[in-house]
């Protein structure tokens, strides 16, 4: 008897009740990162949540519902945005750390720069779509995209662990309550994932694990429900950029913003490419397990994905939100729960839009930190594992000296740079007297791409020579 595999493919639609629960789960997975990125860049949090929901709906529309992904706030833009904001406030004699939300005078140039970085992504997508994806695959082969995907997850590991297992400043020992709550949340998600595999309830391990973590917080240390202690309090309406920001913008900062922010698209393009390949892998594996003969051509829609990503950046900035990217956390959640329905992602986006108009949106850190970080340990680890899975699935030859050299360099530059260098990036140039740190992950991706191109030259020469000999023989 063939074992029935439960799961939902992109074009399948669960019942409304199930879809809502799946959507809540995906919403909770994306919420902490989307809020944290907005918080660190000092963007309006309700607006960031709203923009992520609208952008996700636009992404699903642009990709015709073929690519089930969620578009959330990107961490890659944090250093560049912070540099431009710090430059503006230093001219006023104000420390950026003392600022609540970024002023509209500097928000205008930042938003334009983010939008143009989105245009860069759209151009890359058009090139891929109309001039051949095989060229992109030569530039971004699995031995480049796999390690890049892996270091994205591993670069987030430090944040998850340090925030889960906090140190008591007085005793120098770990905070017991945070340790226990994070551990309980993590172990609950693992237990639900591994042992609760049958039926509908088996598709909600992350949601169930978070609920267990919340219950543990109520029992162990209720004070960890900190509300909005990390940012301004009080319910605020959305911060509409087009209608309120641009007329007040200080456009003298636009050149600096363009120089610092637009190149960050170079990070999101390989990141987004890796996500598409991962998603294709998981969706087609589920289809095979379910006995579905249809082949889902997600990886062949890389051009649509990049175009959708870029358009989403433009849309997000129109509403006053930060730059974004498709979320590896949500791919991880889908991989664990086997729910890849684009219908569910559409509902998740609608939940985000509605949530943004509630008082809770401005207090979106209402989830206890140890709970979200306990879940993050699992999800960030899955992101890293997906990069390794991609290399295995694509049969990357790990004994090939060229492949090994590229993978090794990407890992060490990406991870070493992220953890060892100031602000997790290389200080490449200055803008308005401020150092711009280019994210280590971006440098690792670029070095991997260049190194792969250089090391492929002998193979290309050999191929062209063999091709010429065949022609001469004929």
Strand partners, 326: 71
Between CA 316 and CA 312 the distance in angstroms is 6
DSSP structure string for 61-92: HHTTT-S---EEE-STTHHHHHHHHHHHHHTT
Q: How many CB atoms lie within 10 A of CB 251?
A: 12
213, 368 in Cβ contact below 8 A? yes
Would you state the pLDDT for residue 228? 39
Per-residue pLDDT tens over the stretch 8-34: 999 999 999 999 999 998 998 888 778
Would you state the pLDDT for residue 227? 46
For 22, 156, 204, 398, the CA distances from 15, given in Å and listed in that order, are 10, 34, 15, 44
Question: Which parts of the chain register pLDDT below 70?
Answer: 1-3, 79, 97, 133, 135-136, 197-203, 223-247, 266-267, 362-367, 423, 429, 431-434, 436-437, 463, 467-474
Would you state the pLDDT for residue 118? 93
Helix (H, G, I), strand (E, B) or coil at 221: coil
Rounded CA Rg of the chain? 22
Per-residue pLDDT tens over the stretch 345-373: 999 999 999 998 887 776 555 667 788 78
Q: Whats the size of the chain, residue-wise?
A: 474
Q: Which two tokens stand for residue 32?
A: 């902490």
Predicted model pTM: 0.72
């Amino acid at each position: 008897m063939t074992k029935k595999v439960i799961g939902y493919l992109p074009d399948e639609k669960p019942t409304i009740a199930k879809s809502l629960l799946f959507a809540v789960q995906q919403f909770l997975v994306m919420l902490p990162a989307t809020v944290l990125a907005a918080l660190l860049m000092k963007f309006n949090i309700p607006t960031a949540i709203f923009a992520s929901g609208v952008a996700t709906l636009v992404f699903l529309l642009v990709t015709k519902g073929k690519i089930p992904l969620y578009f959330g706030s990107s961490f890659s833009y944090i250093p560049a945005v912070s540099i431009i904001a710090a430059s503006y406030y230093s001219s006023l004699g104000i420390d950026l750390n003392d600022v609540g939300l970024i002023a509209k005078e500097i928000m205008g140039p930042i938003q334009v720069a983010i939008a143009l970085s989105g245009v860069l992504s759209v151009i890359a997508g058009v090139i891929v779509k109309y001039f051949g994806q095989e060229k992109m695959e030569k530039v971004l082969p699995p031995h480049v995209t796999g390690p890049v995907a892996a270091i994205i997850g591993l670069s987030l590991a430090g944040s998850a662990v340090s925030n889960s297992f906090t140190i008591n400043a007085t005793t120098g020992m770990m905070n017991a309550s945070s340790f226990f709550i994070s551990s309980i949340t993590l172990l609950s998600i693992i237990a639900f994932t591994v042992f609760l595999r049958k039926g509908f309830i088996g598709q909600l391990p992350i949601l169930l694990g978070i609920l267990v973590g919340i219950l543990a917080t109520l029992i162990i240390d209720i004070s960890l429900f900190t509300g909005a202690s990390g940012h301004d309090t009080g319910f605020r309406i959305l911060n509409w950029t087009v209608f309120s920001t641009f007329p007040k913008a200080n456009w003298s900062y636009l050149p600096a913003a363009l120089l610092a922010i637009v190149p960050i698209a170079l990070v999101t393009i390989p990141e987004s490419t890796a996500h598409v390949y991962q998603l294709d892998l998981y969706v087609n594996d589920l289809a095979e397990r379910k006995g579905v003969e249809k082949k889902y051509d997600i990886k062949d829609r890389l051009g649509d994905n990049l175009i959708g990503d870029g358009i989403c950046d433009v849309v997000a900035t129109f509403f006053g939100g930060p730059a974004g990217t498709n979320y590896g956390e949500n791919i991880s959640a889908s991989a664990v729960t086997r729910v890849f329905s684009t219908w569910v992602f559409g509902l998740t986006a609608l939940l985000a839009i509605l949530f943004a108009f509630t008082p809770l949106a401005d207090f979106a850190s209402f989830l206890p930190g140890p709970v979200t970080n306990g879940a993050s340990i699992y999800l960030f680890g899955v992101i890293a594992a997906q990069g390794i899975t991609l290399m295995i699935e694509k049969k990357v030859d790990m004994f090939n000296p060229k492949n090994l050299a590229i993978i090794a360099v990407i890992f060490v530059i990406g991870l070493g740079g992220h953890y060892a260098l100031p602000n997790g990036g290389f200080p490449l140039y200055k803008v308005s007297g401020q150092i711009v740190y280019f994210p280590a992950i971006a440098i690792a991706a670029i070095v991997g791409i260049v190194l792969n191109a250089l090391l492929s030259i002998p193979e290309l020469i050999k191929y062209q020579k063999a091709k010429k000999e065949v022609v001469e023989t004929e």
